[in-house]
Amino acid sequence: VVSLRPGMLKDRNEVMRKLIDIQYMRNDINFERGTFRVRGDILEIFPAASSENTIRVEFFGDEIERIVEVNYLTGEVIGYRHHVSIFPASHFATTDEKVARAIQTIEEELEERLKVLKDQEKLVEAQRLEQRTRYDLEMLSEMGFCQGIENYSRHLSNRPAGSRPFTLIDYFPEDFLIIIDESHVSLPQIRGMYEGDKSRKTNLVDYGFRLPSALDNRPLKFTEFESMVNQIMYVSATPGPYEAAHSQNTVEQIIRPTGLLDPVISVRPTDNQIDDLVNEIRKATDRNERVLVTTLTKRMAEDLTKYFKEIGIKVNYLHSDVLTIERTKIIRDLRLGIYDVIVGINLLREGLDLPEVSLVAILDADKEGFLRSETSLIQTTGRAARNIEGKVIMYGDRITNSMAKAISETDRRREIQAQYNEDHNITPTSIIKGIRGTIEATKVAEGEEDYSDKFSHDEIESMIIGLEGAMLIAAEELNFEKAAELRDKIREMKKMLK
């Protein structure tokens, strides 16, 4: 960390050298985060942690005369600082002693690996590896940093070969608690991260692009993750076999505060299924309700959407080719009534909370597989559990084991919920969930209205987050005028919080 105060005796060049040591780069033209520039006795630093404010250090000889925080775009003086701490521009910053030790061990590994490759008569791979590694070593020696430095993390942290990497979990206190949401999805992802990383890097090592130590810059193996767990809670509507086998206590949260029951599931034949579905959609839209339809392929989702549009249904499709920000907009538009139907594949499952949806239609429900497994069917069914009129239609010519289990589990939950409502005189009501946040964020970006008296502190903060996302998107699209306009709106709203 570079610590600076007015009045300190510091040579300007000495400060510049320290900035370079913590991975800052001098760039007098393209001034951006992680860089600094020099103009006479003025040193300007763009901290890596800052988005728009820079630090201007003014020298008088070898003494720091003044430190000013400035907006780098407008030049506006934000304030005068009595002390600033400049943290490293990169996570990969370490001492000169550790770098020197790492260079030595990298050279040793390089010689061993070159011998192996030459013995296997892989001369091209050997030359490639030596050329790349020698360049990286020279950069480490001169600059203390090189591109792809993370691949040498084992040497820099002085770990033995094959040892697990350090992770955020190492910094947690001894009594920490892990909560894994949607564990039926998250746990397989944790289990698969190591193998996926290893598969990719093995090719890099085999063809001379990286040293074998690059394999030690990796995610945790699942067994390593398990060994670091102190207390853990799995949260899922459809827990898998691992959770069941390792859980000491299972708690079912079946009762909803609103008294809502899980949706009724019916199975209908595939003959004339589209005509039948259109009829059900018409009934739902007449009640000002929404519909989700799931298919097995992108092509079918797009073709079905096209057909629905031709017969006058307000519809859009949602699949992995749709950009994330666009997905959010489509779902919001469904709630607003711009669309009555969304056709999707695998995205209409976990995490969607849409009270307006009263019907979920599952096409080809009898085609066993990942998209029509027991877990997938239960998760998809749950999207209709936020509305009192919620129901699910599975189209299939037979009832598969997955369908039978999903129907049985849903019926079991309905029975418990209905009995609880009867015992406690609860009348089920649909969830009421406002959508004002997204709409009002758009109004703030477009209008001049003052919202300080209309919304709470938390609501204004939520709007600011939405505007910041829109600003970043505008900047990525090179629409800088719009980005600047949104930036000014964000400043105005931040003033309301003070």
CATH of the domain at 59: 3.30.2060.10
What's the average model confidence in pLDDT over 299-312? Answer: 93
* CB proximity list for 351: less than 8 A, separation 6 or greater: 182
Confidence of residue 437 (pLDDT cuts 50, 70, 90): very low
Tokens 């406690």 belong to: 424
Q: Are residues 401 and 281 in the same domain?
A: yes
Buried b (16+ CB within 10 A) or exposed e, 155-189: bbeeeeeeebbeeeeeeeeeeeeeebebbbbebee
Q: What are phi and psi of 342, to 5 degrees?
A: -120, 130
Q: Are residues 366 and 294 in the same domain?
A: yes
Q: How far apart are CA 272 and CA 283, in angstroms?
A: 17
Please give the pLDDT value at position 466.
Answer: 81
Please give the pLDDT value at position 45.
Answer: 94
Confidence of residue 498 (pLDDT cuts 50, 70, 90): low
Higher pLDDT among residues 51 and 162, named by residue:
162
Per the structure block, which two tokens stand in for 174?
């001894």
Please give the pLDDT value at position 488.
Answer: 82
Per the structure block, which two tokens stand in for 288?
């000002």
Residue 440 domain flag:
no
State pLDDT tens for residues 262-303.
999 999 999 999 999 999 999 999 999 999 999 998 899 999
CB 466 within 8 A of CB 332: no
Residue 111 domain flag:
yes
Per the structure block, which two tokens stand in for 310?
């031709």
Confidence of residue 349 (pLDDT cuts 50, 70, 90): low
The CB-side HSE value for 186 (13 A sphere, CA atoms) comes to 16
Tokens 């009594």 belong to: 175
Residue 113 domain flag:
yes
Tokens 């990942």 belong to: 370
Average pLDDT, the chain: 87
State pLDDT tens for residues 392-420.
999 999 999 999 999 999 999 999 999 99
Confidence of residue 350 (pLDDT cuts 50, 70, 90): low
Q: Are residues 182 and 325 in the same domain?
A: no
Confidence of residue 80 (pLDDT cuts 50, 70, 90): very high
Question: Of 372, 401, 424, which one is at a domain's C-terminal end?
Answer: 424
Q: How far apart are CA 349 and CA 113, in angstroms?
A: 48
The type of residue at 469 is: G
Q: Are residues 114 and 210 in the same domain?
A: yes
- pLDDT for 490 beyond 70: yes
* CB proximity list for 99: less than 8 A, separation 6 or greater: 140, 141, 144, 156
State pLDDT tens for residues 193-248.
999 999 999 999 999 999 999 999 999 999 999 999 989 999 998 888 899 888 88
Using DSSP, state whether 466 is helix, strand or coil: helix
- Percentage of residues in the chain having pLDDT higher than 90: 50
Q: Are residues 269 and 206 in the same domain?
A: no
Q: How far apart are CA 188 and CA 175, in angstroms?
A: 25
Number of domains in the chain: 4
Higher pLDDT among residues 436 and 71, named by residue:
71
Q: Are residues 377 and 492 in the same domain?
A: no
Residue 439 domain flag:
no
Residue 79 domain flag:
yes
Q: Are residues 332 and 363 in the same domain?
A: yes
* CB proximity list for 89: less than 8 A, separation 6 or greater: 22, 23, 24, 25, 33, 34, 48
CB 371 within 8 A of CB 296: yes
Q: Is 7 left (phi over 0), alpha (psi -120 to 50) or beta?
A: left
Question: Of 203, 228, 253, which one is at a domain's C-terminal end?
Answer: 228
Q: Are residues 101 and 212 in the same domain?
A: yes
Per the structure block, which two tokens stand in for 397?
């010519």
**According to the per-residue pLDDT averaged within each range, which of 213-222, 429-438, 486-495 is highest?**
213-222
Residue 59 domain flag:
yes
Please give the pLDDT value at position 358.
Answer: 92
Q: How far apart are CA 110 and CA 469, in angstroms?
A: 45
Residue 259 domain flag:
no
Confidence of residue 450 (pLDDT cuts 50, 70, 90): low
Q: Are residues 409 and 269 in the same domain?
A: yes
Residue 437 domain flag:
no
Q: How far apart are CA 32 and CA 44, in angstroms?
A: 11
pTM summary value: 0.66
Domain that holds residue 414: 265-424
Q: Are residues 25 and 47 in the same domain?
A: yes
Higher pLDDT among residues 115 and 30, named by residue:
115
Using alpha carbons, select from 398, 404, 406 the residue that is nearest to residue 270.
398
Q: What is the dihedral of CA 329, 335, 340, 346, to 10 degrees?
A: 60
What's the average model confidence in pLDDT over 465-470? Answer: 84
Q: Residue 378's domain is classified under what CATH number?
A: 3.40.50.300
Q: Are residues 271 and 371 in the same domain?
A: yes
Using alpha carbons, select from 78, 61, 64 the residue that is nearest to residue 2.
64
Q: How far apart are CA 56 and CA 116, in angstroms?
A: 53
Q: Are residues 289 and 173 in the same domain?
A: no
Per the structure block, which two tokens stand in for 473?
């998107």
